[in-house]
Amino acid sequence: MIPITIRQLQVFESVARHLNHSRAADELFLTQPAVSMQIKQLEHILGASLFDQSGKRLFLSSCGEELLKYAKLILEQVNEIDTVFSEMKGLGRGRLNISVVSTANYFMPQFLANFIKSHPKIQVSLSVANRDSVIKQLLDNIADLAIMGQPPEDLDLSAEVFLTNPIVVICSPDHPFANLEIINPSQLCDETFLLRERGSGTRYVAERFFSDAHLRLSNYVEMDTNEAIKQSVQANMGLGIISYHSIELELEAGRLSILNIPGFPIIRHWYIVNRRAKRLSLAALEFKSFLLAHASDFNRLQINKA
């Protein structure tokens, strides 16, 4: 059999992940015909079809699913070889892929900017996605490290707290509650709440708060971004339960107000997460140490503000 090349596996893995030749071509800086040719050559070598097509949609075949398992393992080993020998040369270089949930993107650029300034030879890639996508990027070995709230306990992940995450209740400055010094939780029952999707950290906080207070969360509108929640609260559609990190600019501009409600702010935490079985590069270890070393000052500032 003609040897399978690393490049063919890279192309296959990218197409399998995106289920789209054009996106894989963009990611690998190739033309779409070049990607299609690599897949055809790989299928010829293996004597099997790796993808099925239904209309314009692409699906992995059973053979493709089997090959993907090996491709991920092989490419992970190849990346590790590159990392190890770069570190042995003492070049101080490296690549670092970080995936963060959308709320964390309000503060992560500040940390990244300072890290890049002190480590200019490390090439950093930042991906912002929802929680499920961030976890998938970790498990698919696309991300070296992830920043998220409480990670799932049923996966083989290593997680370490590095930052507090104050959750607050917000309203428009025109809302009647904005002029009250304190709001009794029972006063919230008839209000409409603007909440993130099920599975998100702030949605869990909202449901847990109402449950513990023996109150009904009956009126709510579900939204899939913090920006949608903030805009809707500013338009006086209802109240929001959201991370303090995501509203600092609106507070400074006087476009949102934080309500004083017993039990809030609810302090949750941000975690830096990686696959337990993954050998972290020096770049990833250095960034992890950097976060842990610099988060304490940021923590004190945010808690005092909130």
pLDDT in tens, 131-184: 889 999 999 888 999 999 888 888 999 999 999 999 999 999 999 999 999 999
Residue ranges per domain, the chain?
A: 6-83, 90-163+269-305, 164-268
HEC string of the chain equals CCCCCHHHHHHHHHHHHHCCHHHHHHHHCCCHHHHHHHHHHHHHHHCCCCEEEECCEEEECHHHHHHHHHHHHHHHHHHHHHHHHHHHCCCCCEEEEEEEEHHHHHCHHHHHHHHHHHCCCEEEEEEEECHHHHHHHHHCCCCCEEEECCCCCCCCEEEEEEEEEEEEEEECCCCHHHHCCCCCHHHHCCCCEEECCCCCHHHHHHHHHHHHCCCCCCCEEECCCHHHHHHHHHCCCCEEEEEHHHCHHHHHCCCCEECCCCCCCEEEEEEEEEECCCCCCHHHHHHHHHHHHHHHHHHHHHHHHC
Average pLDDT for the chain: 89
**Looking at residue 141, what is its pLDDT?**
87
* pLDDT for residue 237 is more than 90: yes
Residue closest to 201 by CA, chosen among 238, 239, 250, 152: 152
Residue closest to 276 by CA, chosen among 108, 151, 128: 151
Residue 82 CA: distances (Å) to CA of 28, 124, 251, 275: 18, 16, 46, 19
* pLDDT for residue 23 is more than 80: yes
CA angle 132, 133, 134 (to 5 degrees): 90
**Token output for 280:** 């972290």
**Looking at residue 295, what is its pLDDT?**
80
Task: Give CA–CA dist 108/291, Å, rounded.
Answer: 10
> Phi and psi at residue 210, in whole multiples of 5°?
-65, -40
**Looking at residue 306, what is its pLDDT?**
47
Residue 295 CA: distances (Å) to CA of 68, 262, 283, 291, 298: 38, 27, 18, 6, 5
Same fold for the domain at 6-83 and the one at 164-268? no
CATH architecture type of domain 6-83: Orthogonal Bundle (1.10)
The confidence band for 200, taking pLDDT boundaries of 50, 70 and 90, is confident
**Looking at residue 274, what is its pLDDT?**
95
Determine the average pLDDT of the residues in 178-194.
Answer: 93
The confidence band for 303, taking pLDDT boundaries of 50, 70 and 90, is very low
Tens digit of each residue's pLDDT (9 = 90 or more) over 53-99: 888 889 999 999 999 999 998 988 888 787 767 665 555 567 899 99
**Looking at residue 177, what is its pLDDT?**
96
Determine the average pLDDT of the residues in 238-242.
Answer: 95
CATH architecture type of domain 164-268: 3-Layer(aba) Sandwich (3.40)
Q: What is the pTM of this model?
A: 0.68
State the fold for domain 90-163+269-305. D-Maltodextrin-Binding Protein; domain 2 (3.40.190)
* pLDDT for residue 298 is more than 70: no
- Of 74-83, 222-231, 238-247, give the lowest mean pLDDT range: 74-83
